[in-house]
Structure 1
Amino acid sequence: MTGPAIGVEEEFHIVDTGTRHLVPRSGLLLEALPKDRFTKELQRAAVESHTLPVHDLREVARDLAGLRAVMIAVAEDLGLGVVAAGSAPLTDLKQMRVTPDPRYEQIVDDYQLLAREQLICATQVHVEVGDPDLAIAISHRLAPWLAPMLALSCSSPYWLGEDTGYASYRTLVWRRWPTAGPMAKFESAAEYEGMLEELIRSGVISDAGMAYFDIRPSAHVPTVELRICDSCTRVDDIVLIAGLFRALVVRECPAIRRDPDSEVQLEPVRAATWQAARSGMEGELVDPVEGVRGPAASVIERMVAGLRPQLEEAGDWELVSALARDALGRGSSAERQRRAFARRGSLADVVDLLVAETAIGGWDEPVDGDTRPPCRPAA
């Protein structure tokens, strides 16, 4: 039993363990990290890692945990902390620096404050889809499921030292880019490529990599890429999201063949995504099927149950359903961050929580045939 190959890209903030502030020191880290698994980002206060494409969710988990362990060890030797979250609570914009790179420098010149404030980190999941036309259709047709996927990852309640009132303020920061959001319907990969060429000719974007849709066909590998999720402090949550996204992709393939002309209305999708960013798992979500708001836990439970045939086919059902129960019982990172702040009114405590969760939020290998990772108490 197996499914299409999966790969994950994780973006991490770099913080000073003394001041707890975001710091532009990615260059020091990258000098000591494997160049084939870690790379730079627009801002020098972030680093990205990527797993190798594999078919087994447990292999994804082991790779993610291993990459984190390597990065954290290097960071600790430099007096730095690593934070896997959508935003870093303590940031001084005047201290931030863009990575020296002609492409990045052009982006800053073109987009100004948007680029200078691009101090957000995401989890991106790739699922193998070899047919380019099918990848285009999937990228559009899965839009209704963006909201619950985002809710599972919400980890950015604080922005520039303030509580935003949102579970994922990163989503609102990201939405300012001209190509961000759900992807419209295209009849073929050729039509999609034509649209990108038109955007590039217009000068609004400089290359295909700036098509920042929430789900998109990758510009470099034969995959469909989920891009809406915040960075997650816990590897468990990334594995959950990856397993669900793969199941959604697998389920949608025959649905597209049965009904190739179906089109998703994007206005409700945008509204539902906003709702997920606002409330996360602690409030209500718009149900992708019924189109009405309901408790987030109920919406996510129905999503997981509805994907059971695809999860069982891949051998993922016991693992993913257990991870979903754990995630819903634990609550969101956003809520844990707010509880940490409430204890003493200190954002430094929030940063300490994020550093600790990123470090211990690894993967416990199942033993004795048990497919369920042991639950860890919420911080």
Structure 2
Amino acid sequence: MADWTGPLTVGVEEEFHVVDLRTKYLSTRSGPLLEALPQSRFSKELQRSTVEANSEPFARLEDLAKDLCELRDMVIQTGQELGLGIVAAGTVPLADKSSMKISDDPRYERMLDDYQLLTREQLICGTQVHVQVEDKDLATAVAHSVTPWLPPLLALSCSSPFWFGEDTGYASYRTLVWQRWPTSGPMAKYESAADYERMIDNLIQAGTITDPGMIYFDVRPSAHVPTVELRVCDSCPRVDDIVLIAGLFRALVTRELAAVRRDPHREMQLEPVRAATWQATRSGLEGDLVDPVEGVPRAAAEVFMNLVDGLRPELEETGDWELISNLARDALARGSSAARQRRAFEREGRLSDVVDLLLEETRACTWTGPSSYRPAA
């Protein structure tokens, strides 16, 4: 069992799409929205159709949930005054590519010049979870060690089946868009933080990337805070799912910290992880996932609950077992956002109905804590 002295703190960066409440299309009016929000908690992103909210770090998941709901309420209420809606999802199905613009920033302008279509089509949003790991060598080792267990977390978050008005056939098309960047995918094994940073320096010198912030691995040592950062997940309409992902990722980091301390040279094969990630992207919670231990297909619910059950010692140590197991069962009963979006579209054949569903789920954020927690209908 892990030898920590208290729960590792966990924080979340949530990316939101900004949509026009009248047309239900993506809007490039994030600028006026951000001007009305506190800069300490909200920031711009590459596209002018996106804003990012930054939670505080917390030891208790209940406190994280309340903070996320307060941030959502703040940005939603501010947006409504401007005729703007806020959507937490990997993609929004209605967008006019020709009207999209990148944010006014020299770094983003250089990215547009260097990467062209990749930058113009970066109309995606993710949920990033940070777990406290002060030692950079340990953070580097853990970022590699957790990789086999990330595809089930991606499957839980899948919320991007539509892309420019079409059903892609994938539960998370955002992942496929993201994987076009040269530094995406699972993180390889590095012997130390210095070794990892030499790799980044070499990529910068080669002209492939311009700064450490362009390392887009599924999980990585954060470039600006002492954490391990999960980046593989779509944005999630429901805060319940974010809390579930955050709790499980913290438990994974805690478990793998103990594992790399026992054996600092352990190495994960990345090819099976890439394949399992693709499978999660394709099916979400509605099909099979690749079992991280045996490498064979199993029902998503079985793979996911095996992950949860396997982390029970770490979850009990932090007092999260009851909350996380309840949230997990609820999430599996509800299914993925991708499936809910498709059902909304099938009813009347209108993509605006999908946007309305996402607006509603993003807005319906309440948290009363585990003592009174009840699974959502």
- TM-score normalized by the length of structure 2: 0.98
1:260 deviation in Å?
1.6
Q: Secondary structure at the match of 2:185?
A: coil
Aligned residue number for residue 364 of structure 1: 367
2:167 pairs with one of 163, 167, 177 = 163
- 1:71-90 equivalence runs, <5 A: 71-90=75-94
Distance in structure 1 (CA, Å) of the matches to 2:146 and 2:375: 30
1:2 deviation in Å?
4.5
Q: Secondary structure at the match of 1:285?
A: strand
Letter in 1 for 2:368: E
Aligned residue number for residue 125 of structure 1: 129
Q: Secondary structure at the match of 2:90?
A: coil
Q: What is the CA RMSD across the aligned residues, in angstroms? A: 0.9
**Residue 21 in 1 paired to residue 25 in 2?**
yes
Aligned residue number for residue 218 of structure 1: 222
1:257 deviation in Å?
1.6
2:294 pairs with one of 270, 287, 290 = 290
Distance in structure 2 (CA, Å) of the matches to 1:198 and 1:31: 37
Q: Secondary structure at the match of 2:137?
A: helix
1:56 deviation in Å?
0.5
Aligned residue number for residue 251 of structure 1: 255
Aligned residue number for residue 359 of structure 2: 355
Aligned residue number for residue 111 of structure 1: 115
1:71 deviation in Å?
0.4
Residue 69 of structure 2 contacts residue 367 of structure 2 at CA under 8 Å; is this kept in 1? no
2:347 pairs with one of 343, 349, 357 = 343
- Which runs of structure 1 show a deviation greater than 3 angstroms over 4 or more consecutive aligned residues? none
Q: Secondary structure at the match of 1:81?
A: strand
Taking only the aligned residue pairs, the percentage that are identical comes to 65
1:259 deviation in Å?
1.7
Distance in structure 2 (CA, Å) of the matches to 1:4 and 1:239: 15
Aligned residue number for residue 374 of structure 1: 374
Residue 155 of structure 1 contacts residue 231 of structure 1 at CA under 8 Å; is this kept in 2? yes
Q: Secondary structure at the match of 2:326?
A: helix
User: Residue deviations 1:87-141, cap 9 Å, x none?
Assistant: 0100110010110100000000000000000000000000000111110010111
1:92 pairs with one of 90, 96, 106 = 96
Letter in 1 for 2:371: T
Distance in structure 2 (CA, Å) of the matches to 1:141 and 1:371: 34
Residue 151 of structure 1 contacts residue 280 of structure 1 at CA under 8 Å; is this kept in 2? yes
1:372 deviation in Å?
5.7
1:148 pairs with one of 137, 148, 152 = 152
Residue 322 of structure 1 contacts residue 372 of structure 1 at CA under 8 Å; is this kept in 2? no
Letter in 2 for 1:171: T
Distance in structure 1 (CA, Å) of the matches to 2:367 and 2:210: 42
Residue 125 of structure 1 contacts residue 227 of structure 1 at CA under 8 Å; is this kept in 2? yes
Distance in structure 1 (CA, Å) of the matches to 2:238 and 2:58: 20
1:8 deviation in Å?
0.2
Structure 1 gap segments, 5+ residues each: none
Distance in structure 1 (CA, Å) of the matches to 2:177 and 2:367: 34
Aligned residue number for residue 37 of structure 1: 41
Structure 2 gap segments, 5+ residues each: none
Distance in structure 1 (CA, Å) of the matches to 2:78 and 2:14: 17
1:7 deviation in Å?
0.7
Q: Secondary structure at the match of 1:20?
A: coil
1:373 deviation in Å?
2.1
